[in-house]
Structure 1
Amino acid sequence: MSLVDLGKRLLEAARNGEDDEVRKLMASGAPFTTDGLGTSPLHLAARHGHYSTAEVLLCAGVSRDARNGADVNAKDMLKMTALHWAAEHNHRDVVKLLIKYGADVHAFSKFDKSAFDIALDKNNPETLVMLQVAMQKQVDAHAERMDPVANSLTLTSPFVLAPGEVLGLASLIASANTQTTSGDSPAPPAQLSSSTAGTLAMLPALAEASGAGGDAGETEEIAEANPVGSALQD
C-alpha cells in the first residue's frame, strides 16, 4: 500500500474513532497528511469527539522514538485548529486533552475567532471556564519567559558596612523597595554583581559574630578574610 493510501486510511480511521486501526496505520508508517481542506487526523478526531483517538494521535507526537506525530496546533483551510473544532462541538473532554498537550488557546481562525469566542457563541459555559483558565495560564507563562528576573533583588546604590555593623537581608530589600517607590527618580537598578553577592554571602558570618558579642576587631578579621567585602567598605 502506498503512503498516499496509508494517509487516506489514517484520516478515515481518525474520523471514525478507530483507535486500533490508527495505531496499526501509524506503525505501518502512515503519514500525517491532510485532505483537500487541510483537515488532519487530529482535526477529525477532535471534531467528532473521539477522545481516545485524539490521545493516540497526540501521544505519537511526544513519543521518544516517534517517526511522526500530530501537530496539536495545525490549522486547516479555515485556520481552525483541533481546539477550535472541539470547542465548536462542545467536546469538553477533548478540549481539556488538547490544552494538556499544549494547544494554543490564543490562536485565531480565518474569521478572527479563538476557541473561547466559539464557545461563547455556542453558549458552552463549562468549556468557556476551561478555556479562560488556560488562557490566563499561558499569558502568565509568557510573561515569566519575557522577564525572568522581574522578581530578583536589585540595588539602586552601593552600601558599606561599618565595623561591627550587621545588615539584614530584610532591611536591604525594604530599603530597595522604598527607593523604588519614592517620588525621587532612582538611578537605574543594576543586578547583583559578583562582589555584592560575595558580601551578601558574608552576612550570616557577620550576624553570628555580632550575636556572640563579637567586637569591631572580630568583624574586621572577617572582613579581611573576605577581600570582596573589604573592597566595598573602603
Structure 2
Amino acid sequence: MSLVDLGKRLLEAARKGQDDEVRTLMANGAPFTTDWLGTSPLHLAAQYGHYSTAEVLLRAGVSRDARTKVDRTPLHMAAADGHAHIVELLVRNGADVNAKDMLKMTALHWATERHHRDVVELLIKYGADVHAFSKFDKSAFDIALEKNNAEILVILQEAMQNQVNVNPERANPVTDPVTMAAPFIFTSGEVVKLTSVVSSANTKTT
C-alpha cells in the first residue's frame, strides 16, 4: 500500500474513531496527511468526539495546533461541536486556547455561537480571552447577546469583569452599544430583559 493510501486510511480511521486501526496504520508508516481542506486526523477525531483516538494521535506526535485551509485548529472543531472532553484533552496537551481561524474566531467564539455552555466555561477556566474580537468586530459576549443566550451571557460577563483587557481590539468601544450595555448585566433575570430589548430592536431595524 502506498503512503498516499495509508494517509487516506488514517484520516478515515480517525474520523470513525478506530483506535486499533489508527495504531496499525501509523506502525506501518502512515503519514500525518490532510484532506483537500487541510483537515488532519486530529481535526477529525476532535470534530467527531473520539477522545481515545485523539489521545493516540497526540501521543504519536501529531500537531495539536494544525491548521485547515480556513485556519481552524482541532480545538476549534471540538469547541464548535460541543465536545468538552476533547477540548480539555487538547488544552492540557498545550493547544493554543486563543488560536484564531480565518474569521479571527477563537474556540470561545464558536462554543458561544453553538450554545455550548460547558465548553464556554471550560475554555474560560483554561485562560480563553473573553475580550478577543472576530473579523466582524464581535466578542463572544456580542455573539451570546445576538443569540439571546442568557446563561452564557452571565458567564461571559463575570469573566469579563475578572479578566484584564490588555489588548482592546474594538475600534471605538465608547460608542459601541453592546460594550456600553455590558456593565449593566449582573443576573440572569436582567439578561433576559436586556436580550428581549435587543431582540426587539433588531426586529424593528430589519
**Smaller-chain TM-score bracket:** 0.5 to 0.7
> Out of 33, 41, 53, which is 1:4 matched to?
33
The alignment partner of 1:4 has SS state of coil
CA offset at residue 2 of structure 1? 1.8
Q: Distance in 2 between matches of 1:8 and 1:77?
A: 17
Q: Distance in 2 between matches of 1:131 and 1:34?
A: 27
> Out of 106, 109, 118, which is 1:81 matched to?
106
> Out of 124, 130, 135, which is 1:99 matched to?
124
TM (norm. structure 1) is 0.55
Match of 1:137 in 2: 162
Q: Distance in 2 between matches of 1:22 and 1:114?
A: 29
Instruction: Read off the aligned partner of 1:128 and give its amino acid letter.
Output: L
Q: How many residues align structurally?
A: 133
Match of 2:134 in 1: 109
Q: Are residues 1:49 and 2:82 paired?
A: yes
Match of 1:119 in 2: 144
Show CA shifts across 1:152-202 (max 9, x none).
xxxxxxxxxxxxxxxxxxxxxxxxxxxxxxxxxxxxxxxxxxxxxxxxxxx
Match of 1:19 in 2: 51
Alpha carbons 2:32, 2:41 under 8 Å: kept: no
Instruction: Read off the aligned partner of 1:4 and give its amino acid letter.
Output: T
The alignment partner of 1:3 has SS state of coil
Post-superposition, which runs of at least 4 consecutive aligned residues in structure 1 deviate over 2 A? Answer: 3-7
Match of 2:176 in 1: none
- Larger radius of gyration between Structure 1 and Structure 2: 1
Residue ranges of structure 2 left out of the alignment (5+ in a row): 1-29, 167-206
Residue ranges of structure 1 left out of the alignment (5+ in a row): 62-69, 143-234
TM (norm. structure 2) is 0.62
CA offset at residue 118 of structure 1? 0.1
Q: Distance in 2 between matches of 1:128 and 1:39?
A: 24
CA offset at residue 5 of structure 1? 4.8
Instruction: Read off the aligned partner of 2:124 and give its amino acid letter.
Output: I
Show CA shifts across 1:121-154 (max 9, x none).
0000000000000000003x86xxxxxxxxxxxx
Match of 1:60 in 2: 93
The alignment partner of 2:128 has SS state of coil
The alignment partner of 2:143 has SS state of helix
Deviates more, 1:43-52 or 1:30-39: 30-39
Q: Distance in 1 between matches of 2:87 and 2:106?
A: 13
CA distance 1:26–1:128, change in 2 (3 Å)? same
Match of 1:40 in 2: 73
Q: Distance in 1 between matches of 2:81 and 2:34?
A: 22
How much identity, in percent, do the aligned residues show?
Answer: 57
Q: Distance in 2 between matches of 1:86 and 1:23?
A: 21
